[in-house]
Amino acid sequence: MDGTTLDELSETWNGIREDYRESDNSDYDRAVLDCAARLAADPGGDSAYVWTFGLVLMAPYLTWLPGLGVASQAVTALETADRALRGHSCTHDSHAYRSHEDEEDEYLAELLPVLADETADWEDDRPRSEWRCPLNAAGFARIALDIIDPGSVPDVPPRLPVAAADAISTLSALLHGYPKPWTDIDEEISSQASELSDADPADRAGRLMVVRAVTWYAVSGMVRTKSVLDDLAEAVEETLTHFADAGCAHDGHPALPGSGPEAVELGIELSSAGGRGLYERARIASGRNPALDRVVCPAYMAEIADETLTLLRRRRDELFGERDTSHADAEYLRADGRLDMGKLVERTDHKSWNEEYAEDLGLWAARRHAQSDARDRIVLLLVARQSMDNSYPSPPVSVVRDVLATMRAVAAAPLPAECPHEDEHPTLRYAEFRDAMAHFWAPEEFPPAEEIRTPESWTCPRFAAEVAEACVAELEHLDEEDRSVSSNAS
Ligand SMILES: [Zn+2]
Ligand SMILES: [Zn+2]
Ligand SMILES: [Zn+2]
């Protein structure tokens, strides 16, 4: 073979299999075209199995971005070979292709040289003749066609499409909190909404499960772009109409996975015919998994869509909408209408259990700031600032909007040229500052802290401006408007 041994060819083909994520790679294109030409030259011949195995190994690259016309030449050669080979008769009970799995593709590269060389040691359970049989070669030609265009041919073992396997790895990494460096998170999540909208009816349940899983991430506060949640909600709304009137005779439905990565894996698997075939095979083998019709039941999917939509709408309001903080009065004001300083000191402590209060508390304090007297004002400013620090993963747009407005107003207020007090401003670096703040606010109620500053130092406009400026610097990049401006400019 042009002085190239089968060893070398197998190695080249297997290298392409391993590093298939290439676009327009001329070496890869040449290897595919050579192999396809060999097969096309004698599609029913004795060595057809060599070239069909070669194309199985290189097929993943053809799902990526091969040069123009490369994939179609391979497809034509494979289809011709399948037709020429599958009509043969043989005496074998079975053929290797029937139980071949994608994890065994690499094995084809190992097998090829010893398969062709009658004198080489042979260790496979099946005899050489069975592997080289025209019917086996036809089966592998169809496997290659199924890799290139999933679902395009009958009589092949189930296999997850290459793109689906890629999607599982990209989305699992993202949902584990370690997105791949090239992942555009907003784009990746939004694209799952389009996948759901565009899904064929058979793939719709799986696609909905994927959206359900990415929704948990999207509503966690990690996504700061409202349109991503809009896209998801719109796709689920539309999906709900497909499932809306479905009824079923099932006596209950199996629980879907509760963790994002697991839910995504199941959803992607059930989003293709090959994946559903794998599910069914695993179900039969394990004897435990629930039957597919109960998992993807339209009545059940209507429930899932409804739950997902409710969550999306509620969190979209909380993250981007106009938040109602009136309930916080009852929590942070005493019966006499004064601030509940004990509670404020407790809830602004930089502890993880305060994360759940931080957003509403910070927003409430910022909104109350303008209508308060000088003594309350600095307390509310400090509470708002501290709450923004406590917010996790970061304060949402709905909170940042009003807190920034307050902070910017305070920072922009006219200042006296000099401080109206002799001592320094309170230090905020240490946790004790909150005790000092309480003592300043009500000296008769709260014991003096280690560091004591004059009341004039606490209420000094220059101190408030320092606090506000620092907070603006921290929050500015989280502001919705600023974000869209910068992304439009780029
Ligand atoms: Zn045979
Ligand atoms: Zn059902
Ligand atoms: Zn001052």
CB 136 within 8 A of CB 156: no
Distance of CA 91 to the CA centre of its chain: 50
Residue pair 393/220 in contact by the 8 Å Cβ criterion: yes
Ligand 2 centroid–CA 263 distance in Å is 19
Q: Give bridge partners of residue 474 from the DSSP assignment.
A: none
78 CA → ligand 1 middle, Å: 18
CA of 73 to the centre of ligand 1 (A): 27
Q: Which ligand is nearest to the CA of 89?
A: 1
| 3-class SS of residue 24 | coil
Q: How far is the CA of 436 from the centre of ligand 3 (A)?
A: 16
Q: Which residue has the tokens 């309001």?
A: 317
Compute the distance from residue 135 Cα to the ligand 1 centre, in Å: 5
Which ligand does the CA of 466 lie closest to? 3
Q: CA-CA distance, 259 to 212, in Å (whole number)?
A: 11
- In this structure, which ligand is nearest to the CA of 421? 3
| pLDDT values of the chain reduced to their tens digit, one per residue, 490 residues | 556 789 999 999 999 999 999 898 999 999 999 999 999 999 999 999 999 999 999 999 999 999 999 999 999 999 999 999 999 999 999 999 999 999 999 999 999 999 999 899 999 999 999 999 999 999 999 999 999 999 999 999 999 999 999 999 999 999 999 999 999 999 999 999 999 999 999 999 999 999 999 999 999 999 999 999 999 999 999 999 999 889 999 999 999 999 999 999 999 999 999 999 999 999 999 988 999 999 999 999 999 999 999 999 999 999 999 999 999 999 999 999 999 999 999 999 999 999 999 999 999 999 999 999 999 999 999 999 999 999 999 999 999 999 999 999 999 999 999 999 999 999 987 778 899 999 999 999 999 988 889 999 999 999 999 999 999 999 999 886 444 444 443 3
User: Two tokens at 89?
Assistant: 């008769």
Q: What pLDDT score does 78 carry?
A: 98
**E-strand spans in 156-271?**
none
Cα angle 314-319-321, degrees, rounded to a multiple of 5: 80
Output the CA torsion 241→245→250→254 (10° steps).
20
Helix (H) or strand (E) holding 156: none
Query: Nearest ligand, CA of residue 426?
Result: 3
- Give the ligand with the smallest distance to the CA of 91: 1
* 288 CA → ligand 1 middle, Å: 34
CA of 301 to the centre of ligand 2 (A): 9
- Indicate the SS3 state at residue 443: coil
Closest ligand to 294 CA?
A: 2
- Kindly identify the ligand whose nearest atom is closest to the C-alpha of 419: 3
Q: Find all residues with CB under 8 Å of 354, minimum gap 6, and list them.
A: 347, 348, 390
With CA atoms as reference, report the closest residue to 83 among 95, 75, 94: 75
Q: Which of 345, 363, 367 is nearest to 354 (CA)?
A: 345
Looking at residue 2, its pLDDT comes to: 58
Q: How far is the CA of 267 from the centre of ligand 2 (A)?
A: 17
Please say whether the beta carbons of 330 and 323 come within 8 A: no
Residues whose beta carbons lie less than 5 angstroms from ion ligand 3 = 419, 460, 462-463
Predicted local confidence at residue 3, as pLDDT:
63
CA of 91 to the centre of ligand 1 (A): 6
Ligand 2 centroid – CA 292 distance (Å): 10
Cα-to-centroid distance, 461 and ligand 3 (Å): 7
Among all bound ligands, the one having the nearest atom to the CA of 454 is 3
Distance 457 CA to ligand 3 centre (A): 5
Q: Determine the length of the chain.
A: 490
Of 463, 457, 295, 474, the closest CA to residue 386 belongs to 474
pLDDT value, residue 484: 46
Point out which residues pair with 65 in neighbouring strands.
Answer: 23
pLDDT for 487 equals 44
The contacts of residue 91 (CB under 8 Å, 6+ apart) are none
127 CA distance to ligand 1 middle (Å): 10
Distance 94 CA to ligand 1 centre (A): 7
CA of 444 to the centre of ligand 3 (A): 24
Query: Which ligand is nearest to the Cα of residue 131, counting in written order?
Result: 1
Crossing angle of helices 298-320/397-412, nearest 10°? 0
State how far Cα 349 lies from the chain centre: 33
Q: What is the pLDDT of residue 310?
A: 98
Residue by residue, what is the 3-state secondary structure of 45-106?
Answer: CCCHHHHHHHHHHHHHHHHCECCCCHHHHHHHHHHHHHHHHHCCCCCCCCCHHHHCCHHHHH
295 alpha carbon, closest ligand: 2
* Distance in Å, CA 99 to ligand 1 centroid: 14
Q: How far apart are CA 317 and CA 359, in angstroms?
A: 13
Separation of 255 CA from ligand 2 center, angstroms? Answer: 12
CA of 43 relative to ligand 3 center, distance in Å: 89
Spell out the SS3 assignment of 33-47: HHHHHHHHHCCCCCC
Contact 161, 155 (CB under 8 A): no
- Cis ω before 393 (30° cut-off from 0): yes
Given a contact cutoff of 8 angstroms between Cβ atoms, the answer to whether 425 and 457 are in contact is: yes
- For the CA of 250, the nearest ligand: 2
240 contacts 309 by C-beta, under 8 angstroms: yes
Residue with tokens 């016309």: 69
The pair of three-digit structure tokens given for residue 381, joined into one six-digit string: 């400013």
Cα 276 to Cα 266: distance, rounded to the nearest angstrom: 10
Find the 90 Cα to ligand 1 centroid distance in Å: 5
Cis peptide before 254 (omega within 30 of 0): no
**Ligand 1 centroid from CA 390, angstroms:** 69
